[in-house]
Amino acid sequence: MENEPLIDDALKTELSALYQAGDRHYHSLAHIEAMLALAGEYRRLLHDPEAVKAAIWFHDAIYDSRAKDNEAKSADLAKKKLAGRASPDRIARIAAMINATATHQLPPLSDEKAANDTALLLDMDLAILGAEPDAFDAYEKAVRREYGWVEEPMWRAGRAAVLKSFLARPHIFHTAEFRQRFEAKARQNLERSLATLQAG
């Protein structure tokens, strides 16, 4: 059961349609595909790869840049759509992973395997921060377009606060593998972006 895909073709089609909405410039199907590729690459480190894949598919399913409860709504959608496809316990784990993407802080999980999978999911979600400068800049522009309704001074202040909060963490990434691969580049990208925002 554990290795059976939780997301069948019908569900993929349904979720893909949500990710292809016109107002999604970064939180799109390409973001999901990039995360699924990383999940494939790091599969050996995942305790429940299919649950992680399900969490990837659902984590940005509901996305409105004006809302504060996208992750909670996405987790609720996952619970509803996965009911009967997995045990209640497994669905609860998937929902917890989705909710963790709201803050990118590791929630207190007593289950070590669930904590490990959540840490890897969060790192996959933030891997873009450690991308090559061109890819990172394209990501920043895409996020700005998603917040097109925010006036420039407000945007600069808000975005700078987000970037500073990541830079203030002892580590941006939770796992040794992602730290080794992306941490240094992510800090360079964030510092460069912050300097641009602050220069106005």
pTM of the shown model:
0.95
Decide: 167 and 194 in contact? Cβ < 8 Å.
yes
Mean of all residue pLDDT scores within the chain: 95
Name the H helices within the chain.
9-19, 29-41, 49-58, 70-82, 88-100, 112-126, 133-146, 152-167, 176-178, 184-199
pLDDT in tens, 113-134: 999 999 999 999 999 999 999 9
Domain regions of the chain by residue span: 9-128, 130-199
Class of residue 140 by CB neighbours under 10 A (exposed 0-12, middle 13-18, buried 19+): buried
Closest CA to 200 of 158, 161, 153: 153
Categorize the per-residue pLDDT at 107 as very low, low, confident or very high, splitting at 50, 70 and 90: confident
Closest CA to 91 of 114, 68, 69, 70: 114
Q: Kindly state the tokens that stand for 48.
A: 């429940």
Q: pLDDT at position 200, please?
A: 74
Q: pLDDT at position 110, please?
A: 81
